[in-house]
Structure 1
Amino acid sequence: MVDGRVYDLRPEFSDTLSMLNDWDSSLARLHELAATPHGEGVALDELRPLPPVASGQLLCAGANYYTHLEQMTLTMLRNRGDERPDEELLAEGRKFAKSRLDGGAFVFAGLPSTMTGATGDVILWGPGEQHDWELELAVVIGRGGHYIDEKDALAHVAGYTISNDISTREVMRRPDLGPMTDFLASKVRPTFFPTGPYIVPIEFVPDYRDLHITLKVNGEVMQDESVGDIIHGVEQVVAHASKIVELRPGDVVLTGSPAGNAGHHGNRWLVPGDVMEGEITGLGVQRNRCVKPE
């Protein structure tokens, strides 16, 4: 995309994954093409963008923002009937958040089949009705690797994009299995990962911690937080993930949700008809309508 217009690069590149498989050469060629784009292009708002890449591994960091953990702790304890003042509950959340620095990143797997585009409908599948949003900074891997060192991690990142990790909260816990968490039931339903609209090469983002994440539901701001509030940064998340799985070009790694989930807003869960608008500085805008299953 150049100056808001999208240019078709076929047949030179068949898809995004073919670029990522030889990212260094592809990026150099993209610079050349951007300098002298062919044709008139099409305005981005005239297109229905698909996920920019949706064929690799999908890995998600959790419990990775200080303020988010404070809010989640308060909400969880309050929902359990804890009547202590908010400040006491928030203090517990702050203690928990600080302890995450010593515990290392927490990463779990998603499924690329759950992805939809930046303007695609989000189908609020049951079971469960407590559908929540989690707008997140995501990284796209351009160079694969196993046991990547933190100091080398950013060299393996092709660029950044936006992803919204929709989660159905009341099916996340399995009472029949004690404390175990069911991420398959709560997070990986079709359309539950709006991603895109595009990938911004890492060279255009001098410091990802300076980015700002904003999510609105029907025009009301729900999430409004700097990536600077992150606990384990991109380097730590990518390095940690690479010590569990072998990363490959085209993999998408989410870095965690900032503050402002539904529990913080009086359990204001998503319902059919809601429209989510998500934005991260310089990475584009998502606009997804929530619909009921047919």
Structure 2
Amino acid sequence: MRLMRLGPAGAERPAVRSDDGTTYDLGGLTPDIDGAFLASGGADRVREELERGRLPELAAEGLRIGPPVARPAAVVCVGLNYTAHAAESGVEPPRDPVVFFKHPNTLAGPDDDVELPPGSARTDWEVELAAVIGRRAGRLASVDDALGHVAGYTIANDLSEREWQLERSGGQWSKGKCAPGFSPLGPWLLTADELPDPQGLGLRSRVNGEPRQDSSTADMIFTVAHQIWHLSQFMTLEPGDVLLTGTPEGVALSGRFPYLAPGDVVELEIDRLGRQRQRVVPGRPGPV
């Protein structure tokens, strides 16, 4: 199933899109798609109602697509998780997952405009597979247990301001990762039962129609399962938490491409998970 949230920012409606492209309203089952919904078996209820033909259709054309999960307690990220990306970043492949956090309020819809932070000259794109946690994961016994805690998968753009991330970081990355709207997510959450192995997905990005990234999740240094198991040894992942699993080579940090500028269009796609398209606009000074 493809779970979605549609409508204006902050007022999205929960929905599900069937294989034939029909969109159905989930408002009668849940007020939103969030951690509580996922932890309580909400996806199973949706599947049952969908199979029985009990869900009303939703006229989705023209509706904004929001991030497919609401209000995660944490957005946990793994960096330098593709060998070629580590190389283009000028570092050795890590022996343990490199972990950082993004503020949950960085989540945006997959097609929302990206605002360059005022003063930014080095904002970069990063196509990533995102896993959304469906069951609490703490101190898991083995890697084999990990994927059973995933509710589903979606696309993320781990936008990064590289000067703030690397030169003004103070030793950590979050300054360059947490600008408003720096985590476009979606368009849908593909439930984990339809993607039992996330390690064979092609993922690609383009800027102004020109190819940038073109790789496969098979090239990850640490698999999604390993990441979840590893993280669970140090923290407890809660239902609704979002895990960004790393980006492949082909970013502006490599020096091969210019950083993003107003007017640029960024397009991302991952096999079976749909597409994103963002227009880059100047940032607004003052409070946001």
TMscore range, shorter length: 0.7 to 0.9
> After alignment, is 139-148 or 5-14 more displaced?
5-14
Q: Assess, with a 3 A threshold, how the Cα gap between structure 1 residues 6 and 270 changes in structure 2: closer, same or farther.
A: same
Q: Is the 8 A contact 1:107 1:237 kept in 2?
A: no
Per the alignment, residue 283 of structure 1 pairs with: 273
Structure 2 Cα separation of the partners of residues 4 and 264 of structure 1: 38
Deviations 1:227-247 (A, max 9, x none): 111000011111122222211
Helix, strand or coil: the match of 2:166?
coil
Deviations 1:132-184 (A, max 9, x none): 0011001000001211231211010011011101001112234695xx23x23
* 2:62 pairs with 1:46: yes
Aligned-pair CA distance for 1:47 = 2.0
Structure 2 Cα separation of the partners of residues 207 and 246 of structure 1: 23
Q: Is the 8 A contact 2:101 2:174 kept in 1?
A: no
Aligned-pair CA distance for 1:126 = 2.9
Q: Is the 8 A contact 2:100 2:174 kept in 1?
A: no
Q: Name the Cα RMSD after superposition.
A: 1.8
* 2:253 pairs with 1:263: yes
Amino acid at match of 1:153: A
Q: Assess, with a 3 A threshold, how the Cα gap between structure 1 residues 107 and 184 changes in structure 2: closer, same or farther.
A: closer
| Unpaired segments ≥5 residues, structure 2 | 1-16
Q: Is the 8 A contact 1:213 1:279 kept in 2?
A: yes
Q: Is the 8 A contact 1:105 1:236 kept in 2?
A: no
How do residues 120-159 of structure 1 correspond to structure 2 at under 5 angstroms? 120-148=112-140, 149-159=142-152
Per the alignment, residue 203 of structure 1 pairs with: 193
Per the alignment, residue 22 of structure 1 pairs with: 40
* 2:108 pairs with 1:116: yes
Amino acid at match of 2:158: D
Structure 1 Cα separation of the partners of residues 57 and 231 of structure 2: 41
Q: TM-score, normalised by structure 1?
A: 0.84
Per the alignment, residue 6 of structure 2 pairs with: none
Amino acid at match of 1:290: V
- Judging by fraction of residues, say which structure has more helix: 1
Q: Indicate which of 158, 173, 179 corresponds to 1:165.
A: 158
Helix, strand or coil: the match of 2:174?
helix
Structure 2 Cα separation of the partners of residues 289 and 28 of structure 1: 36
Q: TM-score, normalised by structure 2?
A: 0.86
Per the alignment, residue 81 of structure 2 pairs with: 64
Larger Rg: 1
Share of identical aligned residues, percent? 38
Structure 2 Cα separation of the partners of residues 243 and 206 of structure 1: 23
Structure 2 Cα separation of the partners of residues 60 and 126 of structure 1: 24
Deviations 1:183-230 (A, max 9, x none): 232110100110111110111113211101011111111111011110
Helix, strand or coil: the match of 1:40?
coil
Q: Is the 8 A contact 2:25 2:57 kept in 1?
A: no
Structure 2 Cα separation of the partners of residues 176 and 72 of structure 1: 16
Deviations 1:90-122 (A, max 9, x none): xxx6xx22xx3xx22121111110111011111
Helix, strand or coil: the match of 2:129?
strand
| Unpaired segments ≥5 residues, structure 1 | 74-92
> After alignment, is 268-277 or 46-55 more displaced?
46-55
Q: Is the 8 A contact 1:163 1:254 kept in 2?
A: yes
Q: Assess, with a 3 A threshold, how the Cα gap between structure 1 residues 175 and 124 changes in structure 2: closer, same or farther.
A: closer
Structure 2 Cα separation of the partners of residues 240 and 266 of structure 1: 33
Q: Assess, with a 3 A threshold, how the Cα gap between structure 1 residues 30 and 5 changes in structure 2: closer, same or farther.
A: same
Q: Assess, with a 3 A threshold, how the Cα gap between structure 1 residues 162 and 13 changes in structure 2: closer, same or farther.
A: same
* 2:224 pairs with 1:234: yes
Structure 1 Cα separation of the partners of residues 85 and 227 of structure 2: 17
Structure 2 Cα separation of the partners of residues 265 and 46 of structure 1: 38
* 2:203 pairs with 1:213: yes
> After alignment, is 245-254 or 49-58 more displaced?
49-58
Helix, strand or coil: the match of 1:290?
strand
Helix, strand or coil: the match of 1:7?
strand
Q: Assess, with a 3 A threshold, how the Cα gap between structure 1 residues 288 and 176 changes in structure 2: closer, same or farther.
A: closer
Q: Is the 8 A contact 1:143 1:158 kept in 2?
A: yes
Structure 2 Cα separation of the partners of residues 231 and 37 of structure 1: 44
